[in-house]
Structure 1
Amino acid sequence: MKIVRRIGVPPHVRGSTSGANCPDVFELSDGNFAVIGTEATAELDKELPADASRADYERIVIVSRETLVRAKADIPDA
């Protein structure tokens, strides 16, 4: 599995000038997506709706609204 391309614009275009605040979205060679975000599993796990769950190996991450909005145009419809 490899990163094929960034989805959206690079962090510096969104105003990040350091490596400390760089959420990002990538398309992978297998068609899945990977995200870089702020780890928030402990904080948000108890907030999941009753019909949502996560496996022990999964984490909840926060990706800024701007990151996803700017990625929207690059996300395939199918």
Structure 2
Amino acid sequence: MKIVRRVGASPRERGSVSGQSCPDIFELSDGNFAVIGTEATDALDAELPPDASRADYERIVVISRETLLHAKADIPDA
């Protein structure tokens, strides 16, 4: 599995002063996506709706609205 491309604008393009450590979204060679965000499992786990769950090895990660909106145009429809 490898990172194929960034999805959306880079942190610097989104206004990060350092451009180094910010939320990011990447498309992987297997078609999945990887997300860099703030780990929030403890804070949000109890907030999941009844029809949602996560495995022990999964984490809830938060990215900014701005990050996702900048990625919207690059996310494939299929």
Q: TM-score, normalised by structure 2?
A: 0.95
Give unpaired runs (5+ residues) of structure 2: none
Match of 1:66 in 2: 66
**Whole-Å separation in 2 of the counterparts to 1:17 and 1:4:** 25
**Distance (Å, rounded) in 2 between the aligned partners of 1:69 and 1:26:** 14
Paired AA for residue 44 in structure 2: L
Letter paired with 2:70: R
Aligned partner of 2:51: which letter? Answer: D
The structure that is helix-richer by fraction is: 1
| Correspondence 1:36-55 to 2 at 5 A | 36-55=36-55
Deviation string, structure 1 residues 22-72 (Cα, Å, up to 9, x no partner): 000000000000000000000000000000000000000001000000000
The count of corresponding residues between Structure 1 and Structure 2 is 77
Alpha-carbon offset, residue 16 of structure 1 = 1.2
Taking the aligned partners of 1:3 and 1:46, their CA distance within structure 2 comes to 32
How far apart are the structure 2 equivalents of 1:2 and 1:24? Answer: 15
Q: 1-side partners of 2:31 and 2:69: how far apart?
A: 20
> % of aligned pairs identical?
78
Matched AA of 1:27: E
Task: State the 4+ residue runs in structure 1 displaced beyond 4 angstroms.
Answer: none
* Cross-structure match for 1:26: 26
Unaligned runs of 5+ in 1: none
Measured on the aligned residues, the alpha-carbon RMSD in Å equals: 0.8
